[in-house]
């Protein structure tokens, strides 16, 4: 079985640390801190650009030589309010102190020097509906390709209602052939409400050489190195995930799975 599902390695402090080396790919890094009020965290960005996402809680943040004050507003991610985020370029440092219990995601990918740190959200981020029927879900776009302050990172939040599907119809972005398709590695940080629930994610290729279906629990991270990657939220449990994507071209171009292309064609009419 491919090592695509990563469980948190604790419930406090740094609970995820996924690097290109540990994932077996080249671009995406993802870490997660769960801190108690008064606790601190910090890192150097090195050769990567970073987007800090305050998933829950509030924290006082310094980065790239600037005091950014207190970031964060929602205390539970399922409030669905826009997140407070901070972009930090390569060769800088960041440090924070938790004002409340908080969850901080660290999204990273290769970056260039010379860019400026900047706040992202909550202003300018609004919950957008996508899909139809039980494929309806809700998106907080944090840094997709229309945002030009990044070199590599694409970051977004998705809320999937109970009984619905997401990242569906199934699609892949695993070839470097822009504009037909782009190569983008991807991580999914999953949350469930109620947290005792579970969700489903399948990662599969057209040739069947990769085909893994996983039950994901609250706090799990799924790696998508290639292939299609739909998610399902069972009746009774809504699903959140934070997506991080990166590759050689900062564009999101995908190809649907052959068995579901007719759904896209029908819905486009």
Segments of the chain with pLDDT less than 50: 1
Extents of the domains making up the chain? 5-267
pLDDT at residue 113 in the model = 86
The pLDDT of residue 115? 92
For residue 1, the model assigns a pLDDT of 43
Contacts of 132 (CB under 8 A, 6+ apart): 267
Digit-coded pLDDT (tens) for 20-64: 999 999 999 999 999 999 999 999 999 999 999 999 999 999 999
Q: How many CB atoms lie within 10 A of CB 76?
A: 12
In CATH, 5-267 is 2.60.120.10: yes
pTM: 0.96
How deeply is 67 buried, as exposed, middle or buried, from its count of CB atoms within 10 A (0-12, 13-18, 19+)?
A: exposed
Q: Cα separation of 60 and 94, whole Å?
A: 11
């Amino acid at each position: 079985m491919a090592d695509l599902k990563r469980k948190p390695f604790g419930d406090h402090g740094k609970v995820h640390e996924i690097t290109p080396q540990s994932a077996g790919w080249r671009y995406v890094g993802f870490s997660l801190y769960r801190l108690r009020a008064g606790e601190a965290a910090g890192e150097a960005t090195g050769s990567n650009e970073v987007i800090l996402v305050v998933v829950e809680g509030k924290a006082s943040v310094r980065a790239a030589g600037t005091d950014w004050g207190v970031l964060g507003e929602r205390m539970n991610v399922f409030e669905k309010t826009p997140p407070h985020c901070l972009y930090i370029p390569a060769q800088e440092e960041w440090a924070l102190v938790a004002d409340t219990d908080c969850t901080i995601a660290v999204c990273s990918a290769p970056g260039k020097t010379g860019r400026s740190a900047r706040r992202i959200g909550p202003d300018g981020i609004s919950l957008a509906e996508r899909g139809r029927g039980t494929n309806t879900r809700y998106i907080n776009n944090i840094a997709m390709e229309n945002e030009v302050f990044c070199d590599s990172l694409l970051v977004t939040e998705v809320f999937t209602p109970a009984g619905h599907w997401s990242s569906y119809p199934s699609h892949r972005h695993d070839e470097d052939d822009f504009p037909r398709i782009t190569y983008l590695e991807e991580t999914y940080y999953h949350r469930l409400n109620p947290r005792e629930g579970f969700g489903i994610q399948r990662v599969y290729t057209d040739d069947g050489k990769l085909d893994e279906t996983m039950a994901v629990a609250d706090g799990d991270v799924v790696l998508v190195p290639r292939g299609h990657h739909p998610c399902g939220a069972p009746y009774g449990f809504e699903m959140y995930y934070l997506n991080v994507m990166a590759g050689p071209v900062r564009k999101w171009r995908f190809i649907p799975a052959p068995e579901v292309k007719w759904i896209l064609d029908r819905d486009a009419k």
